[in-house]
Amino acid sequence: MKRKDLELKDYIEGIGIGDIAILSRAISLVESKKTDHQNLAKELIKSIYPNTGKAKRVGISGTPGVGKSTFIESFGTFLTSIGLKVAVLAIDPTSYKSGGSILGDKTRMNKLASDKNAFVRPSPSGMTLGGVANKTRESMLLCEAAGYDIVIIETVGVGQSEVAVSKVVDFFLLLMQPGGGDDLQGIKRGILELADLVAINKADGDGKINADVARREYETAVHILRSSEEWEPKVITCSGLTGEGLDNIWDNINNYYKVMKTDDKLSNKREEQVHKWFYELLLEKIKNELNTNKKIKKNIEDSYKKIINHETTLLDAVDELYTDIME
């Protein structure tokens, strides 16, 4: 049986009362590539925008096998236990061959997904670099408008994902495994420069001693790289399995917000993110026009043939095409 199509007012009302089913459909709407869905999504984002911006935006990433899903489920459950509403936007890797994704986070976070004060939404990363889905920002705004106090964005892995997620969130948590030296050698300096907190996960059982060793080594590295900043990230140990250290992570996040709310640091950071978002959307629209406008596509094909036939150079062809487009 086909579901009833929702109108703009249905989405606005549903999100306003925190209806999870409608929130989920709203995120599907903004992720859709259909023109009518995109137009409706724009109106929806415009309508709910005044009710956004109040949530804490937290990005979480780490090396493969670090236990992100177990940690996020434990951390999310901890947050709901102290009376907070938590939304998790878990970005799933997309196959470059098939375009499909696993979308298994609701299974991996079964306990959190069934929590009435939590919302877990897996989204395909698509073909975007960095493991942050195209519509992550819009999805985050929808969750904020639905009344969630914390929005957690889990990225695919280590690499470009940290750069991408740092453009979306306020606070970036980097999860690492016990092992210290070996991991430290493989971690790029830029990743530690982005992290607002480094947490050595799996600090339980036999891993506790190794986690303490790793913590000391990361503390040295972070102090060298970040000691001149107003916020010097701490390095702590935790266990997503036992829940140890989760309260310490939450304290660090709250302390970060206290620091960032002085002298408008947080609002300035978010304004800078909006500025980058604006340019990304503009470039995306221009790229889409290049790929869909029949006249431009023909001019591109004609220019390409001239280059292949040595009738013009690559640089001259680009300049000529650019001039035609801009006129």
Q: What is the pLDDT of residues 262-320, one digit of tens each?
A: 989 999 999 999 998 888 888 888 888 888 899 999 999 999 999 999 999 999 999 99
Q: What is the mean pLDDT of residues 14-34?
A: 95
pLDDT recorded at residue 93: 52
Q: Tell me, yes or no, whether 38 lies in a domain.
A: no
pLDDT tens track for 56-66: 999 998 877 88
Q: Tell me, yes or no, whether 1 lies in a domain.
A: no
pLDDT recorded at residue 288: 84
Question: Does residue 300 share a domain with residue 194?
Answer: no
Banded model confidence at residue 167, pLDDT cuts 50, 70, 90: confident
Question: Does residue 299 share a domain with residue 221?
Answer: no
pLDDT recorded at residue 100: 39
Banded model confidence at residue 324, pLDDT cuts 50, 70, 90: confident
pLDDT of 95 above 50: no
Question: Does residue 180 share a domain with residue 297?
Answer: no
Last residue of a domain, one of 262, 286, 314: 262
Q: Tell me, yes or no, whether 35 lies in a domain.
A: no
Question: Does residue 258 share a domain with residue 111?
Answer: yes
Banded model confidence at residue 1, pLDDT cuts 50, 70, 90: low
The domain tally of the chain equals: 2
Question: Does residue 301 share a domain with residue 243?
Answer: no
Give the domain extent around 307. 274-326
pLDDT recorded at residue 187: 59
* Between residues 130 and 110, the one the model is more confident about: 110
Instruction: Find the range with the poorest average confidence among 17-26, 87-96, 234-243, 310-319.
Output: 87-96
pLDDT tens track for 206-215: 889 999 999 9
Banded model confidence at residue 103, pLDDT cuts 50, 70, 90: very low
Last residue of a domain, one of 212, 230, 262: 262
Question: Does residue 64 share a domain with residue 146?
Answer: yes
Question: Does residue 302 share a domain with residue 256?
Answer: no
Q: Tell me, yes or no, whether 14 lies in a domain.
A: no
Last residue of a domain, one of 262, 292, 310: 262
Banded model confidence at residue 142, pLDDT cuts 50, 70, 90: very high
Question: Does residue 258 share a domain with residue 278?
Answer: no
Q: What is the mean pLDDT of residues 78-88?
A: 98
Question: Does residue 236 share a domain with residue 279?
Answer: no
pLDDT recorded at residue 99: 39
Q: Tell me, yes or no, whether 18 lies in a domain.
A: no
Q: Tell me, yes or no, whether 250 lies in a domain.
A: yes
- Output the pTM of the full model: 0.86
pLDDT tens track for 245-271: 999 999 999 999 999 999 899 999 999
CATH number for position 144: 3.40.50.300
Question: Does residue 248 share a domain with residue 287?
Answer: no
pLDDT recorded at residue 226: 76
Instruction: Find the range with the poorest average confidence among 27-36, 123-132, 179-188, 269-278.
Output: 123-132
pLDDT of 127 above 50: no
Q: Tell me, yes or no, whether 267 lies in a domain.
A: no
pLDDT tens track for 168-188: 899 999 998 887 544 555 555
Question: Does residue 161 share a domain with residue 243?
Answer: yes
Mean pLDDT value across the chain: 86
Q: Tell me, yes or no, whether 310 lies in a domain.
A: yes
Question: Does residue 169 share a domain with residue 318?
Answer: no
Are 155 and 61 in contact, with CB atoms under 8 Å apart? Answer: yes
pLDDT recorded at residue 43: 97
